[in-house]
Structure 1
Amino acid sequence: MPAIQYPEEPLKTDMSKTPTPIPHEVALELNRNPAQWGGSTIVVGAYGRAVAPYTIEEAFRAARVTVEGLPEGFRIHDLRHYYASLLIAAGLDIKTVQARLRHASAKTTVDTYGHLGPDKDESARAAVSVAFADRPATRADHLRTSASATS
């Protein structure tokens, strides 16, 4: 779990220090560099030293021209947005997404990622449709059924 930001800056909030639950295979992948070079730095250069954010951005610029499908302005921060969209698409509630992104307020999460939720118009239509189909039969329904049976 990161304890500092580059270069030796404290994390912004105490919430930033809390662990993020990740699957075992992701933990193993993230541990490859620390295991190879010793220490706790995840992103390292050729000799196991921490790299500057500029170096990472340069690598992303290079990837944009070689990796098919990456948007022209793709940057490392977009991985955070991808993570949020992945959680939302998987159906996690907004409070869980808020906690994983370390937002102080769910309002920030909703304002930033609310458009990624399922189609609310279609969900609302479906909910009303189910309620309508499950309603008890009314006298008008019986009269309509009787009238159509006699015609």
Structure 2
Amino acid sequence: MKRISEAANVTPIRFHDIRHTHASVLISEGVDIVKVQTRLGHSKPSITLEHYAHMMPNQDDEVADIFHNALSEDPLAKCEQITIVDLNASSKTK
């Protein structure tokens, strides 16, 4: 590997670094964790997640966009489907 790196005039890296980069790119691009696990030869997806969970795409923005779009569509049509619950209202029983 060192000889190839020198011939290509790039900084030498270990094979393990290439493997880690490969897995990181796949996960950050949204490839299913089971497919990455199989490709890396891990016995369980949980092993892959232990090492690469930090690379999982942040889906909070996507979820927020879905919620925003749902509320931004026709508000009157949505009102017929949504039940508003007042959590501050106290129920009085006698």
| TM-score, length basis structure 1 | 0.40
Displacement after TM superposition at 1:96 (Å): 0.6
Which residues in structure 2 correspond to 1:1-150 (within 5 Å)? 56=1, 59=2, 63=6, 66-67=9-10, 70=11, 74-134=13-73, 136-138=77-79
> Larger relative CO (CA 8 A, sep 6+): 1 or 2?
2
Which residue identity lines up with residue 111 of structure 1 in the other structure?
Answer: E
- 1:15-47 deviation line (CA, Å, top 9, x unaligned): xxxxxxxxxxxxxxxxxxxxxxxxxxxxxxxxx
Distance 1:92 1:115 in 2: 14
Which residue identity lines up with residue 70 of structure 2 in the other structure?
Answer: A
Distance 2:30 2:52 in 1: 13
How many residues align? The count is 75
Q: Percent identity?
A: 32
- Stretches of structure 2 lacking an aligned partner (at least 5 in a row): 81-94
- Stretches of structure 1 lacking an aligned partner (at least 5 in a row): 1-55, 140-151
Q: 1:94 to 1:129 in 2, by over 3 A?
A: same
Q: Which has the higher helix share?
A: 2
Displacement after TM superposition at 1:77 (Å): 0.5
| TM-score, length basis structure 2 | 0.59
CA contact (8 A) 2:42 2:48 kept: yes
Distance 1:78 1:125 in 2: 35
Displacement after TM superposition at 1:116 (Å): 1.2
